[in-house]
Amino acid sequence: MLQGYKLFTVTHRTTDINQIADFIIEAPDDEVLARKLKKIKDYFGIDELMYLNTCNRILFFMYKPEAIDINAFFFAVNEKLRKMSGSLHQSIEYYEDELAIHHLYEVASSVDSLVVGEREILRQLREAYRKCKTKFEITGDKLRIAMQMTVKSAKMVYGNTRIGEKPVSIVSLAVKKLLQSSPLPESRVLVIGAGQTNLLMSNFLKKYKFQDVVVFNRTLEKAQLLADRFTGNAIALDDLKTYQKGFDIMIICTGSTAKFVDSNLYAQLLQGDTDQKIIVDLSVPSNIDKGVFADHDINYIEIESLKKLAADNLAFRKNEISKVKEILAERVIEFKEVYRQREIERDYSHIPQQIKAVKEKAINVVFKKQLEAVDPNARLLIEEMMAYMEKKCIAVPIKKAKQDQLAD
């Protein structure tokens, strides 16, 4: 029934993450990418094509009733792949017809993701389709209907299962734990390290409108870039030992392997303050010396317990997979029905024009003279009746065909 849909994919499941890059269509910009995709589409006689590229997934979704030589397809994607022609099939997953739709549903619903339940994949999929449709103009009605139903199914999955619940990223878990202490926006925050992790943490500081933020980093320019995001101050890491303004929350995450926050430095940073402090420590290994905890009252949010929580949450999400699969199986049946209806609409698409042409001929040729003889009100009524008939006549054969299909 769904013959013609095909899906080729290379993912973290079959291929080393670093090797996935070989399956990407190399293109410095969208113009080049569009040209390359169109070339592949024309060369293989593909009716409609869509391309998704994420850090752990390359996916080609297409409509073409005839078979495609998969090796040749990927050689067109990247010449370098010829070198691994003997083992190429081990990296590529191939689905067709109903299974292609089913796999697309699974991808969009994130059951196939490295981090199960991560909704980002749905956004990426929609964006890839939008580009292929409006910018590259390489999709058509078959992919439109498939994507429409895919998005609908994924939304149903996220709305009716708990697959997207319970955070699994270390940063979001750290933020959640920090918020449990109800910190005030006026809290004095020290951010130590200005790498990717603290960049993500800074989104939280911005969101919750923390105003007193100081960023320390080995490279001052990077500290400044991060501090500028919420008009905070930037200071070189070396100057931490002379910092005298105190703090309430310390967010520390650097690539250093040294426990440079020791009891002496910590006491200096406290400036005599004895209130409980919050430390969010995401460095691996930790940059905080054990002695610090012995001497001070600290609400310590550390990476090991967060990692454990992340693993538990991921296991919880994975438990939802069987429910998701049930929903998707039903949705594929629904897709078949929608697809069938759409086929009928396509088959009967000439009918409206034909009926309209009959109407126009009746008014302008066959009954032209008689109509000219009637008064304007009567003519208006006749034309309204004919428009009504036109509309009804168009619906009759399509309705009948749909009923016949249902009875089959």
What does the binding site for ligand NAP look like in residue numbers (CB under 6 A)? 170, 193-198, 217-219, 222, 237, 253-256, 282-284
Minimum distance, C-beta of residue 350 to ligand NAP, in the bound complex (Å): 59
Question: What is the rounded end-to-end Cα distance, in angstroms, of the chain?
Answer: 13
- Shortest gap between Cβ of 27 and ligand NAP (angstroms)? 27
Which ranges constitute the DSSP H helices of 98-208? Answer: 98-108, 120-130, 141-160, 170-179, 196-207
Q: Between 3 and 196, whose beta carbon lies closer to ligand NAP?
A: 196
CB of 238 to ligand NAP, least distance (A): 10
Q: How far apart are CA 290 and CA 285, in angstroms?
A: 12
Residue (of 73, 50, 48) closest to 63 by Cα position: 48
Instruction: Give the CB-nearest residue to ligand NAP.
Output: 195
Residue 144 and residue 133 in contact, taking contact as beta carbons nearer than 8 Å: yes
- CB nearer to ligand NAP: give 122 or 253: 253
Nearer to ligand NAP, 132 or 235 (CB): 235
The least CB distance from residue 331 to ligand NAP, in Å, is 34
Minimum CB separation from ligand NAP for residue 217, in Å? 5
Q: Which is nearer to ligand NAP, 233 or 405 (CB)?
A: 233
Nearer to ligand NAP, 33 or 223 (CB): 223
Nearer to ligand NAP, 198 or 202 (CB): 198
Length of the chain, in residues: 408
Peptide bond before residue 65 is cis, with ω within 30 degrees of 0: no
- Closest contact distance (angstroms) between CB of 260 and ligand NAP is 7
Distance (Å) of CA 85 to CA 73, 105, 138, 281? 11, 29, 27, 47
Q: In whole angstroms, what is the distance from residue 106 CA to residue 96 CA?
A: 14
Angle of CA points 198, 202, 204, to nearest 5° = 125
